[in-house]
Amino acid sequence: MFRIGLFLVTNLAIIVVASISLSLLGVSGILADNGVDLNLQSLLIFCAVFGFLGSFVSLLLSKFMAKRSTGTKIIQQPQSEDERWLLQTVSDLAGKAGIGMPQVGIFPAQQSNAFATGWNRNNALVAVSAGLLQRFDRDEARAVLAHEIGHVANGDMITLSLVQGVVNTFVMFFARIIGFFVDRVVLKNERGLGMGYWITTIVAEIFLGILASTIVMWFSRRREFRADAAGASLAGRSAMINALRKLQQETTAHVENQMPDTMTAFGISSGWKQRSSRLFMTHPPLEERIEALRFGQ
């Protein structure tokens, strides 16, 4: 119920802010003054406002949503040796990477995993699963944390939001052009926007959104290689390789990813999950990541 309420409130806020932004930019509609032609400039502004606004609202709420969806407990005062080691290790790695100290947390999953998120490289969140702390030795766990610190230092969360914003913008833009073409040329509607426009736009958005998601997934896979390289630099190449190999053992054993789907792209591992195509994978296969580190790619 909470998630539904938050979803509705977030989308309402996006609509209100977008409406104000469009008004300030002088965009009152996507049709030209004659009510017949499409105003491409207004349409592009309209799509950009909604496309980027949704992406950046998600980024700003990312820490809050990550804590809620994963059940992450933030370490305020360490209560155990593991928690003290975790805080100290993240502090050391953050200092080496030149970023501010992130919040540090543990989430209750038996699968070995970790994630980093946040809108600012100096105000991020790094969390590890309870299972990872139990099964990984200190060098391997440190390498995983270094990988996540690498994501933060590389600004991956912000860059991914920018990529998603661009993708959203052009999916909306071209879907509406396709809808307008069908409405005017195929269905011969001469003024305004008819039902054919709205139905075609929805169908086109779904189709183009699926195609465009492959671009986002490609970037997500590339950033994993960069974060692995950063982890190797901060914690040692052999430790990073050993950590990935241990993650690979769980993947080979078909251990399911216990993180919510919305957080999968932010984890160090997507776990085992049957996929129809590599194009829609958020992470490269672990064997490829290991090979990239072994040969310094």
Q: How far apart are CA 146 and CA 93, in angstroms?
A: 6
List the catalytic residue out of 148, 205, 224, 250: 148
* Torsion sign, CA atoms 97, 99, 104, 108: negative
Give every CB contact of residue 290 below 8 A, 6+ residues apart in sequence.
Answer: 241, 244, 245, 248
Compute the radius of gyration of the chain from its Cα atoms: 22
**Crossing angle of helices 138-153/195-235, nearest 10°?**
130
* Active-site residue flag, 205: no
Q: How far apart are CA 253 and CA 239, in angstroms?
A: 22
Three-state secondary structure call for residue 150: helix
- 127 to each of 3, 37, 48, 103, 149, how far by Cα in Å? 21, 51, 33, 8, 10
Per DSSP, 128 falls in state E
Among 132, 143, 135, residue whose Cα is nearest residue 106:
132
Residues annotated as catalytic (active site), given as ranges: 148
